[in-house]
Amino acid sequence: MSDGISIAECTARAERRADLTGYRSDSRFDHPALLYRGEDEYVAGTTAFVRAALTDGDPVLVAVPDKNLDLIRDALTDVADGVVFTDMAIAGRNPGRIIPRILLKFAADHPGRHISMVGEPMWPDRTALEYPACATHEALINTAFAHHDAAILCPYDAVRLEPEAIEDAWRTHPTMLDSGVHRPSDRYTDPLATAATFNHEFPAPPEDAESLAYGESSSLAAVRCFVRRHAAACLSTDSTEDLVLAANELAANTIEHTDDQGHITIWTEPGVLICQVQDAGHLTDPLAGRRLPRPDRLGGYGLILANDLCDLVRIHTTPTSTTIRLHKYL
C-alpha cells in the first residue's frame, strides 16, 4: 500500500464499500465498469460509489459528460463540497487527454492518498471515429494506474450504447457492476494486448488530399506554412495555430527519431479537418502521449501537445511505419 494506508485500513475500507455499494475489492487499483439502464440506475450506482469514497476520506473526482454531471451533482448536494466535478465532454473531448490531464493529474494533486474517481469516457454521442481512441483509453487505464492506490468507476449506458461498446467494457475492466451484482469480468485480458486490437490501419486519404514531404529541420517552416495555408480556409485563427503547432511537433519527432523523410497530408471530411503525419518510425510505448515524461527527461512532449491541441488524435503504428491523424472539428 501507499504511504499512510495499512493493509488493515484497506480491508476496512473494502468492507465499508461493500456495505454501501454491493461490491468490494482488496486490490490496490480497482477499475470496475458500471452497466446502467436509465437515470435511476446511473445515479444510484455512481453516488453510492462517491459516498463510500467520501466516508473513507478519499479525495473524489467525478468526470462525466454534461447532463450526467448535473444528475450526479444534484444527487450529492449535501456532500458536493467534498467532490471535484469535471465535464468530460469538454475536458475529455479528446480521449487521449483523459489519462494525463484528468486522472493522473488528480492523482498527482493528492500524493500518498487513496483516490476515487468516476470517469465516463464513452457516451452515446461519441462518434465512430472517436470510438477506437475511447476503447484504447479504457484498456490503458489499467496499465497507467497499475501501481496507484486508486479506484476508477466507469459508467456505461447498456441501453443506448452499441453492443460493441458493452462487449469492450467487459474486455477492458477487471470487474463489472451489472444490475447491482459485482463480479469479475470473464472477458478481461492483458490490457496492452487489448489496446493493440484497436491499432487499426486507416483508410487511405482521398485522392485530392494535399501532401508534403519533409526531412530536414529546415523544412519544418515549410510544414508550418503548408498546414497553416490549408487549415486557415476552414478553421478559426486559434484553431489553425493549434493544428500548426501540433503538426510541427510531430514532424520534429520524425526528424529527430528517424533517418527517412516523412509525409504530411491534409484534407477535410464532413465536419472535420484531418492532418496526417506519417514516417518510418515505430511507436513502441502504448502510453505515448497519455502520460507525461519524467521530469529529468528533455523532450517527449510532442504527442502530449498534440492531444492537448486537437479534438482527436488517432495512431496506427507498425515496426516499419507510424501514422498519426490529428483531427480538428469544424
157-170 tens-digit pLDDT: 999 999 999 999 99
3 state DSSP class of 315: strand
d(CA 20, CA 37): 20
Q: Which fold has domain 210-329?
A: Heat Shock Protein 90 (3.30.565)
Which residues pair with residue 277 across a beta bridge?
Answer: 264, 324
274: enclosing H helix or E strand: strand 272-279
pTM of the model: 0.89
The pLDDT of 175-197, averaged and rounded, is 95
Tell me the three cell numbers of residue 7.
493493509
Whether 154 and 166 have beta carbons less than 8 Å apart is answered as no
pLDDT at 16 over 70: no
User: What's the DSSP call for residue 39?
Assistant: H
CA triple 2-187-15, angle to 5 deg: 40
pLDDT at 107: 96
CATH superfamily membership of 7-196: P-loop containing nucleotide triphosphate hydrolases (3.40.50.300)
Cα–Cα distance measured from residue 34 to residue 175, given in angstroms and rounded to the nearest whole number? 9
Q: If we measure between CA atoms, which residue out of 57, 66, 165, 49 comes closest to residue 112?
A: 57
Residue 6 has pLDDT above 80, yes or no: no
Portions of the chain given CATH number 3.30.565.10: 210-329
Residue ranges matching CATH 3.40.50.300 in the chain? 7-196
62 contact partners, CB below 8 Å, separation of at least 6: 46, 50, 69, 72, 73, 83, 84, 85, 86, 117, 118
What number is the average pLDDT over the span 23-39?
Answer: 82
- What is the overall mean pLDDT for the chain? 91
- Estimate to the nearest angstrom the gap between the alpha carbon of 226 and the chain centroid: 29
Residue 108 grid coordinates: 498527482
Mean pLDDT over 119-124 rounds to: 97
pLDDT of residue 260: 87
On the question of pLDDT at 80 being above 80, the answer is: yes
Question: Per-residue confidence at 90, pLDDT binned at 50, 70, 90?
Answer: very high
DSSP 134: H
| Cα separation, 1 vs 112, whole angstroms | 9
Q: How confident is the model at residue 180 (pLDDT cuts 50, 70, 90)?
A: confident
